[in-house]
Structure 1
Amino acid sequence: MKSISAVLLTCAFATASCSLIGTGDDEEQATAKAGSEVVLVTHESFVLPDEVRAAFEEQSGFELVVRASGDAGSLTNKLVLTKDDPTGDVAFGVDNTFASRALEEGVFEGYEHTTPAGVSDFDLDGDDEHALTPVDNGNVCVNVDDTWFETEGIAPPETLDDLTDPTYEDLFVLPSAATSSPGLAFLLTTIAAKGDAWPDFWADLMDNGALLTSGWSEAYQGDFTQGGGKGTRPIVLSYDSSPAFTVDGEGGTTTSALLDTCFTQVEYAGVLAGAANPEGARALVDFLTGPEVQAALPDSMYVFPVAEGTALPEDWATFAQQPTDPWEVDPAEVAANRDDWLTQWRDVTTG
């Protein structure tokens, strides 16, 4: 999408006779450019195979431009700050822990459309204008490096309370609740599990050496012992699907998700209010719930598809076990208390 300033700069270099106001041709070219591409604003974990992106462009006739940065929490904050001048046409990655804020701020416009079977099962309560379309789901859970614990001769933790046990001092890393959607999901897990006593649990957790990072990637890829780097912490906040990606090649996996520590997370896509290309945005939202994207989600973004009947990779059947009774907090309660909870959380975690 070419801005006015870009057009003026082009004029300046092209010819001294170019008008500073711009000609009708300039305006037509800018309009044509805006109509030929659709800009997706998303988080840093958004990945789709090249052939899937190419399929969208071929089917829709729009060029897909992806602008990704930060975690879902940072994404939501940026969407709110730029709502009067959006930086794209459609956003993907706002989840059920942050969605109410985006809706309250008028970030998205309504888009009531027909979705594949199963998608509506994950609709957000209170989204009466259908501004957000479910795209994927998963559960945020504590994960452990089974290999590390076996080597050290220590039994791994199993419950939330175990995380405050001195046995596991300085072993847990997790993303911040203020900047990360998995981090906020874990805060909500503790609120659901501990009720009014959740600040005491967090105080004990921090006293036991829990390490906070800005996002999931920093925690899992950087500090977790099975994250591929030189991490030193064998307990991490991740997803129920994560063990399917640490298969050891011998019929097993090196990690496990603690299924008693899980909170369900749903990610949504929506047309941004004031989008330069709302037609392209709607086409992309439709495509994200279509068979190409839904089939690619497990291997590309480690999440479960929402469309009914989508086949899962073979390893998922064995290692990506979902909890039968995850922790829950009513979305209306999250909307009403999120800011206060985060203020309390900051007070506890920063000492």
Structure 2
Amino acid sequence: MRVVAAMSGGVDSAVCAARMLDAGHDVVGVHLALSQSAATLRESARGCCTIEDAGDARRVADKLGIPFYVWDMADRFREDVVEDFVSEYRAGRTPNPCLRCNERIKFAALLDKALALEFDAVATGHYARIVDGPNGRELHRAVDMAKDQSYVLGVLDADQLAHSFFPLGDTTKPDIRKEAAERGFSVAKKPDSHDICFIADGDTQGWLTSRLGAATGPIVDESGEVVGEHDGAFAYTVGQRRGLGLKVPRADGAKRYVTQVDPSSNTVFVGTEDLLGVDEIHGSHTRWPGPAPIGEVRLGAQLRAHGEEFAATVRAEGDEIVVRLDERTRGVAPGQSVVLYEGARVVGSATITRTGRSTG
């Protein structure tokens, strides 16, 4: 097959490209330029897409003897990921930009361009597995659960999965670094990138404030009393406890958490821990890497990239789903994603629109 290996400049994508070449594929390395003003150097393990990263990717491609290109997708990334991130926070929701990047950049823009250029597939260094099942290819969790990235790949549909390779899914991270060193890759000990790649200093609140502006508003408790003041409701998310700056403590001294963010009134609501628990989740923008479930089915539901999996009953209704968890959990906010599993297999995903507590 003719395969585009997405090369970020890190150790995972380097070994990914090498393994695809070892498997006999015709491999071309592609680095995505996602920033219109890429920095020269990375800031420790934060950020990505710097000139240094592009150079690291090129050196690996040269060592492998494969063609290497830089594809400029900065405009698409800004519109589909960065601006989406800002608009979601403006609306009081909590987005996951990694899912958006996978859906709209790596497995939409990149894959679409690769197929248009008559490549057969795209390979990435994500930790996940593709397994041949009775209904075609299936997306499964990685062997290394500490690095499993099937959650952020839950946005793929069946056609995208059919044109994807994840050759690292059967290997642990330490073994990947060992393999990179044995292959002589200079990136073998390069630190992993983390947090939000386009907020290199990690200050999400400051970054959002610079784009949305400060907007003072009240922090209100469950009785309706104003107990504090904020500089922008967008900076708060459901389940948050630290950094609230509350001026009126509860009489019993109980800790308080953000329970709701209302952008229309610029109000942040807080309450005690018991008010955070939800067991009913509604979602839209459903994505199915295989057949969509019919009727009510029992599945596992994961609500964060490296979070716990909860037993649940799921019902799909067109582009929407209702997920009823067997037990309540905290800190679930609109804008986040719920990814559904049957064992290790990813069944599908949806963007959370609202949460609640079942009456039964």
- Using the size of structure 1 for normalisation, the TM-score is 0.24
TM-score, structure 2 normalization: 0.24
Q: Name whichever structure is richer in strand by fraction.
A: 2
